[in-house]
A and B are shown apart, each in its own frame.
Chain A
Amino acid sequence: MVKLEQLEQLIGMRVTLRLTAAAPGAPRITGRLVGVLRALDGAVVTIEPDGTAAPLTCHAHYIEGVEPA
């Protein structure tokens, strides 16, 4: 699983998230990283995928890696 600090450093940037095989939806998402919401049971990441108006959320558990896009 990706480190949350790594995700937080990229907030506001265009990134590609690589998701695990168990993640619901596509294996990769590219778009603007909106934020990381931390809680006692993990974190949820919000991203605005390219070409869509609606942001997506994804539990950080499913994020294998992240790179600037």
Chain B
Amino acid sequence: MAGSYAHPEVLVDTAWVYEHLSDPQVRLLEVDVDTSAYDEGHIPGAVGLHWKRDLETPVARDIASPEQIEGLLSVAGITPASTVILFGDNNNWFATYAWWLLKYYGHADARIMNGGRKKWMDEGRPMTKDVPAPKPTAYKTRAPDPSIRAVRDEVLAAGRAKSAALVDVRSPKEFSGELLAPEALPQEGAQRGGHVPGAANIPWGENVQADGTFKPADQLRALYEARGITADRDVIAYCRIGERSSIAWFALKYLLGYPRVKNYDGSWTEYGSLVGAPIER
């Protein structure tokens, strides 16, 4: 399945997950864009996360704190030695974002279910409405890894001084400034439309095949290299709030093995509201 990925161990297919449903070493976490999806049915044993409540701090805008993550993983029965499988709707938008957060906080063995919730359902695999009650643990995060998280000043420098290659994974209409958010969502969150100067528009969906699974490594490499996103450069991926871009970050860093790739969780909702920040349309 994984072909010549740099880190094939970070992906599992739906059949692997099915075979490990009763494996106590394996813990399943579902994170959906549609926060009602989990309640309508989920993989047996999967614990549901709510992206807004669980993956962000409740007051100041920031990613979930170490204490939040510790609480979340403890309630889910996860230890630092657990194999954590993440999956969700919309081709794993928030599953890869949660995966990025787990890596940020140092969880060793986290994997993505290739193709996400849709592929599992398309294959007619079992679903349940039973909510599991795992035995709680006392999870402790490790020191955060800033090498995978881009912050505002780095993105400003990348736009002004071309210090890093920028990958904007939003739709072409968001990239051009015609829209501020995906067409189906309220047009809010940033004061201005457009993109960071010099960014390449490579919509996140170009990372995957028609069935939603990731493209083979040679196709991913061709996609990025054709747009100047090469392994010798510092790379920053962004979107609107950092979840779609986590898919590109995952593909570049773990499937292609690019050494220096960061995800910008502030993304366009931060950059597009900065006073004085340069914008291209």
> What residues make up the interface of A, taking CB atoms closer than 8 Å to B?
22, 24, 34-37, 39-44, 46, 54-55, 57, 59, 61-62
Contacts and interface: CB of A to CB of B under 8 A. Distances in A.
B91 A54 contact: no
Contacts of A54: 218-219, 222
A39 B90 CA distance: 6
A22 B218 CA distance: 25
B172 A59 contact: yes
B19 interface: no
Given A39-B90, A54-B218, A54-B219, A59 B203 contact: yes
Contacts of B208: 37, 44
Size bracket, chain B contacts: 20 to 34
B183 to A, nearest CB: 7
Interface of B: 33, 90-91, 93, 170-174, 182-185, 203, 205-206, 208-212, 215, 218-219, 222-223, 227, 244
A22 B172 contact: yes
A55 B203 CA distance: 16
Given A37-B91, A43-B205, 4 more contacts: A39-B93, A54-B222, A59-B172, A61-B172
A35 B218 CA distance: 20
